[in-house]
Amino acid sequence: MNYANLLAVAFEEAQQGFDEGGVPVGAALFDAEGRLLGRGRNRRVQDNDPSVHGETDAFRKAGRQKTYRDKILVTTLAPCWYCSGLIRQFNIGTVVVGESANFAGHLDWLREVGVKVVELNDSACTELMARFIRQSPGIWFEDIGECDCEA
Ligand SMILES: [Zn+2]
């Protein structure tokens, strides 16, 4: 499986989110053959909806699936607790992570239950997120559930 090609779809979503003024995290769900099932992006800002993360958006767009064991969830940034919970809840077999430099996520917590985690350390994903965090730290900290009010 060419994971970089799959990541390109998630990155397009992240870039679109950035251009919309939103949190630039994109994601996509693929089947075992690499066919796209659903794609989405964080729309906290755009929709005023804190529950729309890249991963949950792609997951919902993909509709019902009989099993997720053979599915591949690709995300531009390491998943937060909320999205990691979704991965464990539905037993998603493979998670491809664009980068974990700006946010480490909980990848060991996923590996612990047998999720195959593929880290791509992609520089385009890292740079786009770093740019966003520099430009809109308040929105970023709100997104990961951390208040920056004392800062
Ligand atoms: Zn999330």
Q: What is the pLDDT of residues 38-65, one digit of tens each?
A: 999 999 999 999 999 999 999 999 999 9
| CA atoms 124, 15, 18, 88: torsion sign | negative
Annotated active-site residue 55? The verdict is yes
The pLDDT, as a whole number, for residue 145 is: 79
Say if residue 97's pLDDT is above 50: yes
Ligand 1 centroid – CA 42 distance (Å): 8
b/e per residue, 102-132, with b = 16+ CB within 10 A?
bbebbbeebeeeebebeebebeebbebbeeb
How many angstroms separate the alpha carbon of residue 105 from the centre of ligand 1?
9
Distance 55 CA to ligand 1 centre (A): 6
Q: Of residues 41 and 143, which shows the higher confidence score? A: 41
- Cα-to-centroid distance, 144 and ligand 1 (Å): 8
CA of 136 to the centre of ligand 1 (A): 18
Q: Is the pLDDT of residue 27 over 80?
A: yes
Residue 54 and residue 76 in contact, taking contact as beta carbons nearer than 8 Å: yes
Confirm if 19 and 45 have CB atoms less than 8 A apart. no
User: What pTM, to 2 d.p., does this model score?
Assistant: 0.94
Catalytic residue among 55, 99, 119, 150: 55
pLDDT for the residue numbered 96: 98
Mean pLDDT over each residue of the chain, to the nearest integer: 95
The confidence score (pLDDT) of residue 148 equals 54
The answer, yes or no, to whether residue 142 has pLDDT greater than 90, is no
